[in-house]
Amino acid sequence: MTDPVALTADLIRCPSVTPEEGGALSLLEARLSAAGFACTRVDRNGIANLFARWGEKGHARSFGFNGHTDVVPVGARADWRFDPFGAQVEGDWMYGRGAVDMKSAVAAFAAAAMDFVADTPPDGAVILAITGDEEGDAKDGTVALLDWMAAQGEAMDVCLVGEPTCPDEMGEMMKIGRRGSMTFFFEALGVQGHSAYPHRAKNPVPALAKLVDRLAGLELDTGTDHFDPSTLAVTTFDTGNPANNVIPAACRATVNIRFNDAHSSESLTAMIRGIAAEVAAETGIEITDRVSVSGESFITPPGRLSDLVAAAVEAETGRVPVLSTSGGTSDARFVQHHCPVVEFGLVGKSMHQVDERVAIAQIPQLKAIYTRILRDYFA
């Protein structure tokens, strides 16, 4: 049997801070190849990705796992109790960057897949699509894998993403969708001048302040069947002006929106730009914007896939997971264009924190859940 705890430790010891591969995907490629998986590196623009398939290409039934081995920076190493890439064990915990997000889950589904196909070879294909670019720009990670799969005629019928999904207890939550995310970068343009002679200048600060205040007061919606209300947050407001007697020529602000399925990025862009145009007309200040869309909201309706995962989780943990769409974005936002997708993984309390750590007992438990999902899917 493949030990997912040992594999987790091996992966943590790979310093795979985005965009560095750090040896993590090479390690997985070697292990999966030895287990009979056909492995292909799908690297793009310096980003490492791995596609692994057991079974025939284009089989009528295929179950996919998606995950990432890249991790966020460790910050100040002096703040860590142990080497962030040491996989140090203390008591019931294993410490290291990526322990929760999400090298344990990658180890768990890789171990589950390798043992499953060896013990009970299924009538179908098992696919692992693992990226090194989830924590970065995410333009050449799972997107590159899906582009390559489309070009090669590879396909997953359904997919499970192993992101940490449980707030406090193992098994309490799974994700069946995610909110969309978009960011507006505003710039208000005026005329610089002396603060003692404001009539000779054109101050962009009050205009932009009026805009962000108006946006901050918006109620975008009251929620939908599967989503909480959409949110809008003003995250920066800057003039870059070090002088107290100079009216600046420009002012900038950033606004982030997390939106549900009552909206699209296009509808929100039209709405926000309309409000900005109103403020510009009222103040006589030119306001421009740049929009960045991280992903649209999506939902995999409750049904066969979510039932399959929920049944396995309940069997192994005794808990029926809540079907949630909370949290930030994940690579499921890309997979949902390819096939139905849900997410289930570990308790995520310490992800991205100093002294990130995983409860060791949860790793084989997660492997058991993934194994049961595979067994029930191919039954």
Catalytic residue positions?
Answer: 70, 134
Token pair in block for residue 243: 């002088």
- The residue among 300, 280, 283, 296 whose CA lies nearest residue 343 is 300
User: Collapsing DSSP states into helix, strand and coil, what is residue 146?
Assistant: helix
d(CA 14, CA 275): 48
d(CA 97, CA 23): 15
Q: What angle do CA 292, 293, 295 make, to 5 degrees?
A: 160
d(CA 319, CA 373): 15
175: left (phi over 0), alpha (psi -120 to 50) or beta: beta
Is 237:212 a contact under the CB 8 Å cutoff?
yes
Q: Quick one: how far is CA 23 from the chain centroid?
A: 21
* Measured torsion, CA atoms of residues 310, 311, 313, 316, in degrees rounded to the nearest 10: 170
H/E stretch holding 60 reads none
- The residue among 370, 311, 299 whose CA lies nearest residue 340 is 299
Q: Which residues pair with 66 in a beta bridge?
A: 129, 161
